[in-house]
Amino acid sequence: MSEEMSHEAWLDERCRLSLERLGEIADQPGPAAPFGDYFKETARFMLSVPALYDRQAKASSLEELQEIDHLLYKDILPEGYGESYANPAVACDRLGQDFGPLLSWLLTEVRALVPLTWQGRHEEAAAIYELFIEICNRFEQEDLTAESIRQIIYWYISDYSDQTVAYRIREALDPSLSFFRDLIMTSDLSNPAYLYRYGCHISENELGISAYLAGLSQAEIDAMAATFVEGYLRGFEIYKIDLSDKRTVQIRANIGFERVLRSAVRMFEDHHLTAVIYGEAVLSVSKGPRRIGFQATSPNPQYDYDHRMDRGLVLDKALVERITGVTRAAYESYKDMAAVYAGPAVMEIFGEQPFEPLAKEENIRLTPKQEKLAVKLAMAQSQIVNQYIDAASTSFTIIAWPVPSIGPDFEAIMHETIKVNNLDNDLYRKIQQVMIDAMDGAHHMHVTGMNGNCTDLCVSLWQLKDPAKETVFENCCADVNIPVGEVFTSPVLPGTDGILNVSSVYLDGLNYRNLKLVFKDGMVVSADCANYEDPEKNQAYLKQNLLQNHETLPMGEFAIGTNTTAYTMAGKFGISALMPILIMEKTGPHFAVGDTCYSHAEDHKVYNPDGKEIVARENACSALRDTDPEKAYFNVHTDITIPYNEIGAITAVFADGTEVDIIREGRFCLKGTEVLNEALTTGN
């Protein structure tokens, strides 16, 4: 770059030259068949993105905005995906098994141009232009090989990671990167045109929830926001965490909830917290197994699933070391921002139609060696995060709301959800304390199933040294996890043995049918499900998604959910399969595989409202955090809930053989907990 040329002028010139070359690719013969059509079609799409961005800025009607949105996303929407090169099966069929996965990956990276252009991230967009052009040029050379293309992709990811990975870290911490917050706070929310300014696909969900919220009074909006914000603040109070030196709160939510978010941002500001709002990762180097950030509902869950392991194209030891180094350097650069970060406040949604993915042989997969590398990278990044963000000095909250795709009862379900999210904390706290008092001192809990559920599990419990001052279970109401309520503990791993079974459960948007996990000394020793006829496909599905490429996971949590009102709501509307884990975990006993709820904060003392210290904060794995941190944590915490109608019994078993039923045949047994059965009996 010339010393006389500004960075902006250099970038403009770089983009101009790329766009000129893209025009040539779109119009001239280009690479030989079968690749010519792919490069022409993709080049035309790339050229259309800035043109459609300019057109959108001038659009005068909702119909035109919807047309532009369709042009940007039509190839990955379900109706067009069967003909799209972004579909690995289509790419392999048309371009061959060697080049199909590479070029399907490339189109997926190219698609990031849409949000990058809308967000004004032109340098990252320019890198994608140049990547595509370099690969196209390589296809016109005689010594073309698949490995030569893979190497181009590899060095693009590696070379640019000091920008891309660092930016992803910064945007989660830096309130000056305010693209999303500015739109939320300044847009005319009475006009749905604002939804299209994000560069995300806008479905009937986003339009519907925005329209619904537009019809509520400001008092109703403020009440929804207050439930969210007050739950967040209560987390700091309950866990005795000092909030006074924190300055930022990270808000994660879905497009369409802007009225509630605007109110929440202002409420947080009243407590000297500035909202940091950032979008989901759009570049392959930063994508993980979950979509995190401010986002719209997925245009196509199958597309997301097909590309969930795209890093398998390039992942090796050197790249892991490179990304780890960049992560460490970025956090060192942004350590002042990290120090004043208070934690995330998350609004989840539910009501999207159930998704059972089609397993495709053409999808990029991780090799066994890469699975280990992926786990190593995740653990290394987690250790760096916890070095700069002390988990014991932050808190969080999560709440969930339905979206219109839940069906014609959407408004009634929203009304019921508001009721569920605002149940009486004090009432549940008292009821749950009765349960805790009955279980404290037990040697283990015995959980059995009924109505076809074959669960038979012993959960070993922490033994109290001073029962007058200590407790095993946390009394959890509507604070960090909204709604109420549950009691939970970190199981003692030795002696936690048996079978966990659930007939059907949705975890992170994926269905598991007849899921069975076998535990020995608290660790998963075998797993099975009935999603596919081929047992090998079931094993691969479980390894990749539930175990997240770990060979095993510990039982990190045992809990008893007490929210029978939410359970009844799910049954009343027939939406159990659509409910989020956040709510469903409160509707029966649940067991988390992975880390404990106190992960990285085990040394921070926490207390129940009765003043007793919750001592069951670690297990045999997390106890290694100081001596062997790579074996202490798994960076996974997935809750698996058994509904009340599949619970034969939950029984506290004491060392002398005494047994105390907490639940028997799906009903609460203890005196003082009978009120929980009213919703189960009356349906109200």
pLDDT in tens, 243-278: 999 999 999 999 999 999 999 999 999 999 999 999
Instruction: Considering only residues 33 and 167, tell me which one the structure prediction assigns the higher pLDDT.
Output: 167
With bands split at pLDDT 50, 70 and 90, how would you rate the model's confidence at 578?
confident
SS (HEC) of 454-471:
CCEEEEECCCCCCCCCEE
CB-count exposure of residue 493 (10 Å: 0-12, 13-18, 19+)? buried
For residue 130 the two structure tokens come to 């140049």
With bands split at pLDDT 50, 70 and 90, how would you rate the model's confidence at 2?
very low
196-252 confidence digits (pLDDT tens): 999 999 999 999 999 999 999 999 999 999 999 999 999 999 888 999 999 999 999
Is residue 3 pLDDT above 60, yes or no? no
Per-residue confidence (pLDDT) for residue 594, from 0 to 100: 95
Is residue 683 pLDDT above 60, yes or no? no
Per-residue confidence (pLDDT) for residue 354, from 0 to 100: 79
Dihedral sign of CA atoms 585, 566, 298, 529 in order: positive
Per-residue confidence (pLDDT) for residue 307, from 0 to 100: 96
Per-residue confidence (pLDDT) for residue 5, from 0 to 100: 61
For residue 615 the two structure tokens come to 């001592």
Is residue 684 pLDDT above 50, yes or no? no
Is residue 11 pLDDT above 80, yes or no? no
Q: Give the position of tokens 């949590």.
A: 557
Q: What are phi and psi of 476, to 5 degrees?
A: -105, 115
- Could you tell me which of 191, 213, 200, 324 has the C-alpha nearest to residue 259? 213
390-420 confidence digits (pLDDT tens): 988 999 999 999 999 999 999 999 999 999 9
Angle of the 100-110 helix axis to the 122-139 helix axis, nearest 10: 150
Is residue 329 pLDDT above 60, yes or no? yes
With bands split at pLDDT 50, 70 and 90, how would you rate the model's confidence at 505?
confident
pLDDT > 70: percent of the chain:
98
Average pLDDT, the chain: 93
Mean pLDDT of 54-73: 95
- Could you tell me which of 463, 447, 461 has the C-alpha nearest to residue 640? 447
Cα 350 from Cα 576, distance rounded (Å): 11
269 CB-near residues (< 8 Å, 6+ apart): 275
Instruction: Considering only residues 325 and 484, tell me which one the structure prediction assigns the higher pLDDT.
Output: 325
Dihedral sign of CA atoms 423, 424, 430, 433 in order: positive
Strands 589-594 and 637-641: antiparallel
Instruction: Considering only residues 15 and 47, tell me which one the structure prediction assigns the higher pLDDT.
Output: 47
Per-residue confidence (pLDDT) for residue 451, from 0 to 100: 94
Q: What are phi and psi of 505, to 5 degrees?
A: -150, 145
533-568 confidence digits (pLDDT tens): 999 999 999 998 999 889 999 999 999 999 999 999
97-148 confidence digits (pLDDT tens): 999 999 999 999 999 999 999 999 999 999 999 999 999 999 998 889 999 9
615-667 confidence digits (pLDDT tens): 999 999 999 998 988 889 998 999 999 999 999 999 999 999 999 999 999 99
- Could you tell me which of 360, 369, 367 has the C-alpha nearest to residue 537? 360
CB 82 within 8 A of CB 90: yes
Instruction: Considering only residues 1 and 71, tell me which one the structure prediction assigns the higher pLDDT.
Output: 71
Is residue 337 pLDDT above 90, yes or no? yes
Per-residue confidence (pLDDT) for residue 577, from 0 to 100: 82
Segment among 348-362, 399-413, 425-439 with least mean pLDDT: 348-362
Helix (H) or strand (E) holding 401: strand 397-402
Count of CA atoms in the C-beta half-sphere (13 A) of 658: 10
Cα 169 from Cα 175, distance rounded (Å): 12
Beta bridge partners of 445: 459, 652
Terminal-to-terminal C-alpha distance of the chain? 69
Per-residue confidence (pLDDT) for residue 509, from 0 to 100: 76
For residue 566 the two structure tokens come to 């939410």
Per-residue confidence (pLDDT) for residue 435, from 0 to 100: 97
442-490 confidence digits (pLDDT tens): 999 999 999 999 999 999 999 999 999 999 999 988 788 898 889 999 9
